[in-house]
Amino acid sequence: MNLIRALDGKTDGFEINVSCSHSGALHGNLNLDFDHLQKLLNAIRPVTSLPIWLKLSYSPFVVEMAAEGEKAGADAIVCTNSIGPGMLIDIHTGLPKVGIKGGAGGVTGPAIFPIALRCVYEIKKAVAIPVVGVGGISSADEAIQMMMAGASAVELYTLPALEGPKVFGQIRGGLAAFLAARPHLSGISDIIGMSQDKAVAHRFSAPIPVISEEKCTGCGICVSSCSFDAIRLSGMNGETKAVIKDNCIGCNACVGVCPPEFNAITTRFQL
């Protein structure tokens, strides 16, 4: 509370972290501790009128934790913090690479993005306050997915920490290009939560991916990654491009391996 009082009026708001994936049970599994969440917000909410963003980490109870946070006065939910504890081992020494006593540590980066996205999607259905998506975002495509799932804003850490602030400009540019290609959208606000009503029934289909002749560089990554020999390189207009063969089963693995800076292979699901 003393820290909140000291900073009150000197900042635009507070992001309060209620999770600790690095140490997990050593610090009481804060991301599962409803009593801690309530006591924390009951203590700091009366101290400031500034916005309080409650940052949570994935757990089987993250939606319930978000709802409790809203009841206790949080102005927004941020999800997800790093997930874990997880472990990596140095094969040369046998020693754990990360973490504290016990060899564990929080997992961040692209590996947690699908989990973070699901958290945002589910939390948005459970609370009326804004949701901020975070966790493994490394491209404009993933920022857009977060907003479609219901995030009013997104946060990034791992990629900018590794590659520097240029990442923010790249993602802003990607968002601008996305909107420019879709004139029926008046702005980013049009896509926030748009996926919330699209998963109402079981859906499984395998659309054949689409390769953009304009964007394809003929790098061949998709060809070497296809387990079904369903993509080939072919000369087109004097250039080598990837081509989908008739035996494609629509697994869309090639979509995932195409470098994001090219984004030359997409599914048929488009806005």
pLDDT, one tens digit per residue, over 203-220 is 667 789 999 999 999 999
Same domain? For 163 and 218 the reply is no
Q: Is residue 262 part of a domain?
A: yes
- State residue 271's pLDDT score: 42
d(CA 80, CA 56) in angstroms, rounded, equals 6
- Cβ(42)–Cβ(35) under 8 Å? no
d(CA 37, CA 44) in angstroms, rounded, equals 11
d(CA 206, CA 114) in angstroms, rounded, equals 19
Which residues in the chain come in under a pLDDT of 70? 23-28, 99, 202-204, 236-237, 269-271
Q: Is residue 195 part of a domain?
A: no
- State residue 165's pLDDT score: 95
Task: For residue 58, give Cα distances in angstroms to 42, 106, 118.
Answer: 22, 11, 10
Q: Which domain holds residue 228?
A: 210-266
Residue where a domain stops, chosen among 139, 156, 190: 190
- State residue 200's pLDDT score: 73
Query: Which H or E run contains 20?
Result: none
Q: Is residue 63 part of a domain?
A: yes
Same domain? For 136 and 222 the reply is no
Judge whether 222 counts as a catalytic residue. no
3-state secondary structure of 7: helix
- Cβ(228)–Cβ(249) under 8 Å? yes
- State residue 84's pLDDT score: 84
Same domain? For 162 and 241 the reply is no
Give the predicted TM-score (pTM) of the model. 0.79
- State residue 270's pLDDT score: 46
d(CA 123, CA 131) in angstroms, rounded, equals 7
d(CA 8, CA 149) in angstroms, rounded, equals 32
